[in-house]
Each structure stands twice: as C-alpha cells, then as structure tokens.
Amino acid sequence: MSRQRSQTSIEFRKLVIKRSNDGKSVRELAETIGRSRSTVHDIIKLFKTNKQVENKLKAARNKICTDADNRYLLRKVKDNPFLNAPKLAVVAENELGKKSSASTIRNLHH
C-alpha cells in the first residue's frame, strides 16, 4: 500500500496565495511557513491554473443501470422471488440492453 499523504488546510493555502500575491518568492515563503518549496510551488501553481484553492472533486464512475432500470429489475424479483442473480443479469441484457455480471446485479439489490 502507498503512504497516505496529509492534505494542507485551505486556510494555509489561502495564506500562501496571499503572501505570493504580495511579491514573496517561493523560497522565502517556504522558509517562513516551514513547508517544502515543492509544496508551496504546487499550491501556487494550482491556484494559477485553476483559480481555486480547494481540492477538485474526484470523478465518479459511470453507473451501469439507471434508477429506473434498478426499479424494473427489483419488480422482476418481486414477481418471481426464485429469480437468481445470473438469470436476472440475462434479463437485464435481453430486456434493458445493459450487460452486467451477476455480482453487479447482486450488489445493486443489497
């Protein structure tokens, strides 16, 4: 496993940006604040490119089935309680056009 890195606080980042805008160099900022030059440089670079101090949100993975598809599959299970996950995956592929594994279908309904 990789090492977990701690994030700098937003107040700290705002302080770095404010002092950078006042004309301080990266080296001076790093010495006065007590962080490495690369950390200070990365904060300034992120602000200049994205015009934001906060972290960007991570992109979520696309879902295979929509909420309506999930309700349809759940209704199929209520109609026939003996319908297992592999058979339900076949139903999803044939009737909804959604190809997914049995374990995915199982996870959707838990």
15-71 confidence digits (pLDDT tens)? 999 999 999 999 999 999 888 899 899 999 989 988 888 877 778 888 888 899 999
For residues 14 and 43, membership in a common domain is answered with yes
Instruction: Answer whether residue 27 is part of any domain.
Output: yes
Instruction: Answer whether residue 59 is part of any domain.
Output: no
* Structural domain range at position 80: 67-108
Number of Cβ within a 10 Å radius of residue 89: 20
Instruction: Answer whether residue 1 is part of any domain.
Output: no
Which residue has 């990365």 as its token pair?
42
Which residue has 């950390």 as its token pair?
39
Q: Please state, in angstroms and rounded to a whole number, the distance separating the CA atoms of residues 6 and 16.
A: 17
Residue type, 106: R
Number of domains in the chain: 2
pLDDT category at 6 given cuts 50, 70, 90 is confident
Instruction: Answer whether residue 55 is part of any domain.
Output: no
Structure confidence at residue 4 (pLDDT): 65
Instruction: Answer whether residue 83 is part of any domain.
Output: yes
Structure confidence at residue 3 (pLDDT): 65
Instruction: Answer whether residue 89 is part of any domain.
Output: yes
For residues 75 and 101, membership in a common domain is answered with yes
